[in-house]
Amino acid sequence: MAAPVNSVGKLSSERSTFNPTSFQKKTRGKLISIPGTRPSVQNGQLLVSTGVTSLDFLLGGGLAVGTVLLVEEDRYDSYSRMILKYFLAEGVVCRHELFVAAAQDNPDDILQELPAPILDDVAIHKPAEQPRLSCEPQDSLDAMKIAWRYQNLPKVQSALASSSRFGHYYDVSKTMEPEIRQAAKCHRFYLPEHPTQSSPTHSPMLESYSSLLKSLQEVIHREGFEVAAPMSKSRNILRIGLHSLGSALWGDDLSCHDNPRHRHALTTFLYGLRALLRSSLSVAVVTVPSHLIQDRALMGSITRLCDNAIALESFKGSERETNPLYKDYHGLLHVRQVPHLNCLANQLPDHKDLAFKLKRKQFSIERLHLPPDLSETVSRVSRGELAGGATVASACGSGTSGNKHLDF
């Protein structure tokens, strides 16, 4: 006899509530929407731009939030300082909050040197435009509009630039307008304004590094950058720029002695910094004068404590500055380490022969290519040497009595 309808509905409802398998439908979590960020296509990690589009491409799309980028300074600290200013300028344009720490230059001086953005999507408080006159030709206006659009496109970095629109472009020949710079909230840490006292306990961290880490922790907690903070207001990103850590101006003797007394001071600070960033919406760029650190094993430990690591090798003051092979570049860029977050294997860059150049208006990273006239020059030299060798051989052969081959 067939079961009644109500009993069939009861059985089906009981069968639907009972799930004999552990497999569940995968649901996509809701990502945090913050201006100036985007999720990574590889692991879904939230990314921010470094300000240099080609560097974003090398790092897998950008800097992951909660990570540290280590920049090994060049000998004159000119190009590493440029990357730091690009990173801070990108934060100003995206309305992120900044934290700038330095021991030599005042953070205000670094902020005043930020490059000017060249895109038209930056909110600038300017007076209203004048109405267009009727006698003004329309063709000239259209031509100017097309030229302005072309100016936003990457001209030199087409080989390494990301395909999607991410980050901004800057003009290093001009400084950022005060209206744009003052619109961003910035926290400063200038070491001479924070007098350090000798600690009675034998702590592995220097007092200067301890004071810097404490100031960072207070800013992250007070401004609500912690991941576990309540979602009462809109979230934002904190960009941290730490200039020339490990130098003698920070009280560190890594660059002064072969056997430094504060050997583990910087590594202890980086360990605490990375632990602090992992639980906050923050990202940091740290520059270190690696050419002054004699202990290579210690420099390797510093590199491994950071998530990303790049090294800048400038041609200034070296033999490569006059070498025709490097005439179009200002230095080499070495990728020491790339992160592997939320995945088993990291994404290595396709090319390792990378070089950088600083033009009049732009800093770019490209593949190192041989100049087109180098092979022709080499062939001319080789042909001249062969012709000279043949002349000498004929002169030596004329002295012999008709023998084609010389016996030595």
Packed helices 296-304 and 265-278: angle between N→C axes, nearest 10 degrees: 10
Distance CA 56, CA 160 (A): 9
Q: Yes or no: say if 255 and 246 are a contact pair by the CB < 8 Å rule.
A: yes
Residue 27 lies in a domain: no
Residue 18 lies in a domain: no
Tell which phi-psi region holds residue 402, choosing left (phi > 0), alpha (psi between -120 and 50) or beta. Answer: left
Provide the 8-state DSSP code for 357.
E
Residue 60, number of CB atoms within 10 A of its CB: 23
Q: Produce one character per residue of 131-148: b if its CB has 16 or more CB atoms within 10 Å, e if not.
A: eeeeeeeeeeeeeeeeee
User: Which tokens is 115 given?
Assistant: 């490059």
CATH classification at residue 308: 3.40.50.300
Distance in Å from the first CA to the final CA of the chain: 117
Q: Residue 282: which domain range? A: 35-117+157-365
Q: How many helices (H) and strands (E) does the chain have?
A: 10, 14
CA distances from 26 to 23, 29, 52, 116 (A): 9, 9, 35, 44
Residue 234, number of CB atoms within 10 A of its CB: 10
User: Which tokens is 318 given?
Assistant: 């070296």
> For the chain, what is the mean pLDDT?
78
CB-count burial class (<10 Å; 0-12, 13-18, 19+) for 301: middle
pLDDT digits (tens, 9 = 90+) for 258-301: 778 888 899 999 999 999 999 999 999 999 999 989 888 999 99
3-state helix/strand/coil string of 226-280:
ECCCCCCCCCCCEEEEECCCCCHHHCCCCCCCCCCCCCCHHHHHHHHHHHHHHCE
Packed helices 265-278 and 207-222: angle between N→C axes, nearest 10 degrees: 10
Total tally of structural domains belonging to the chain = 1
Q: With CA atoms as reference, report the closest residue to 329 among 290, 367, 291.
A: 367
pLDDT digits (tens, 9 = 90+) for 20-77: 555 555 555 556 778 889 998 877 889 999 999 999 988 888 999 999 999 999 988 8
Q: Place 160 in a pLDDT band, splitting at 50, 70 and 90.
A: very low
Residue linked to tokens 């009993």 = 7
Distance CA 117, CA 114 (A): 9
Q: What are phi and psi of 11, to 5 degrees?
A: -65, -40
Residue 309 lies in a domain: yes
Q: With CA atoms as reference, report the closest residue to 108 among 94, 98, 123.
A: 98
Helix (H, G, I), strand (E, B) or coil at 355: strand
Residues 162-190, mean pLDDT to the nearest whole number: 84
Which residue has better confidence, 362 or 403? 362
* Confidence (pLDDT) at 228: 83
Distance CA 96, CA 36 (A): 8
Separation of CA 9 from chain center:
61
Residue 340 lies in a domain: yes
Distance CA 244, CA 84 (A): 11
Which residue has better confidence, 395 or 37? 37
Residue 181 lies in a domain: yes
pLDDT digits (tens, 9 = 90+) for 107-154: 999 999 999 998 654 444 444 444 444 444 555 445 455 555 555 554
Provide the 8-state DSSP code for 326.
G
In the chain, what percentage of residues exceed pLDDT 70?
66
Residue 80 lies in a domain: yes
CB neighbour list of residue 198: distance below 8 Å, 6 or more residues apart: 207
Residue 26: half-sphere exposure toward Cβ, Cα within 13 Å: 1
pLDDT digits (tens, 9 = 90+) for 216-241: 999 999 999 998 877 667 889 999 99
Residue linked to tokens 């430990």 = 301
Residues 367-385, mean pLDDT to the nearest whole number: 59
Residue 12 lies in a domain: no
Residue 370 lies in a domain: no
Helix (H, G, I), strand (E, B) or coil at 391: helix
CA distances from 181 to 58, 90, 168, 234 (A): 28, 11, 15, 21
CB neighbour list of residue 136: distance below 8 Å, 6 or more residues apart: none
